[in-house]
Structure 1
């Protein structure tokens, strides 16, 4: 029985150890959340600055750059602590190979930020080009959050991470809409690509926002749903819809009033800040959720460590012959302690099974995203489409056929070997 309890205690310690590593990953996610928010603001301000020929949003863009730089420094400082230096290599964590790869990709993307800022300041790039480069940086950071959710072994924390990822993804689509609209208003006309697509770019961003926010609400903890409802009620959706209609009309050839550029930016920013409030609350709650899970495990009455201490404190039974008495070949521990050990075995097995079942349900949402990403990759490879074009094709096909997006993605993957190679 002593060996049984020792292995049970080791299993419990492994679970606590994994949660401690997960808590550190949640700190990383919180830092990434802040940086993404600041980069989104810098992207929108840069678009207004570039599209207006450098006439507006000069000081505002500089302020956004300063906030982004501060958030980036905080993230890199956190990563430096994890890295430890040459004599203290990065500590292996569960799922670390994938998570650390995502961190490396994100850092590589961020290494191009200084050059991009210099080009924007000198107006050596167009608003559309700057947007694309900002988008890639944000996408690399969001992929890091997705990976953290995918490797999380605790279902409660995993649900929070899935909710956060979808909220951040929805907010990113809203941020892209703000940047694209700001450039269009500042230039007095829709971009050539938007006009050629008849406003489909804007409609795609709106649809993508709604889909992500719906998934967020499905995973959002109950205690935050009320806060989220209040945030939505405060959003200036009426004004936003009116300005969206002007952008859609511009895609059909109508002109835009450049004086409305800052009004559009302010309207979108108000909505994004309200989304950000909920995002920040979710991000801040991640570490607390991990610590609560650790405390619950340590306070568990069936904790094997407690039973081991009880076993050590129990007087050693001795028979007149000097041989330990046994019951069915097992050392006599007393019925109460023996029953506690059996209960601990059953409780731990049932709890882990329940966790696995709940985690499987959460992972379904993550697996669906993986299928969609793979299908996008196949369309990009075979048909030479850009990432957003591939996604729009999948969504349009799903809507036309009345099917789920993930089902269309599965069909694309099933036929990938039959797709003609790109000429």
Structure 2
């Protein structure tokens, strides 16, 4: 009985055999001339493989550039032969399992063959002005084909979407691969005019490029690990705050939901909706530093305590800003107690100068405080809350945002289970939804 892995290995073995047969049938003696160039490109492919970069479970090897050059300057058969030789050479060091070896052989036999056939079909002389463009386009096409074969094998094997690998592996290195394609086209052109000296120049450039690519990807991986660690610390702080003061944590979750609903009603993008939702969850994270005498106070605060309370937006923003990619969230957190009339804190911003996300959170914050059963105030009804929001519009709150929120309330499109642990946990479980804020953007 065939398993998925067996079927995949058989399919890739068939692709490998077909590629070898096609390469043999299209081979001519002229393809291997001059022999010195064949040997040089073979040596280049094997040498650069020692500098392969591992990224996202895949190995990015400089031999690709040598194989496209072989396809452009020699032909399909030599390029295929060099590709197979490069994989076997790497296997002696990597000791990949048989299925992975077959997958690598199939890919490194197919894309050089396809590249060689494309260039042969174009029938352009290396001296032609269009030849560099042909090599450039062939490089990018075969690079994509190589990813689809290797990445497709991994996606099939792990039952993960190929699109995830495309975003995580292919797109981050695409600018570097475009630069490689330019170098490849230039070297192919120079070879037609200067001979093997161009290949020697390329070896130096390629090794330098490979080193820079390795450093780029290592730096990216370090940034992702750091961002994940920072986010984990932030989530832990929020959960700790929930243990100390369930009301404050529950309140943050309600504010997040209300703010997202307003952002959606205003036609904001999904990314901006996520941004304001995240800021809502974190807007009171500065209270983490409050002593219990303030956090759990059941009497009027002293002037000194009130000054400490007024610092929590700035304190929270400082905490959030330490996470890579969270500067927009920190800006909202810092401004969520600013007032439309400029009498808020900590910066006395007024009107349109207040970040839009902070204006949404201010309305949501006010509504939840005056209606929640677990608030420090006696809760009031929704109708009374609407009247209070309208009284605050133009003074404390953005009038337009107030009307948008009231529209949601009166339409019955908004609810939050005050004191409902399940509802709270649903909002608080925000790690997967906001993790993208902390990662470098794909370029």
Fold equivalence (TM over 0.5): no
Larger helix fraction of residues: 1
Structure 2 length as normaliser, TM-score? 0.31
Q: Which has the higher contact order (CA 8 A, sep 6+)?
A: 1
Larger Rg: 2
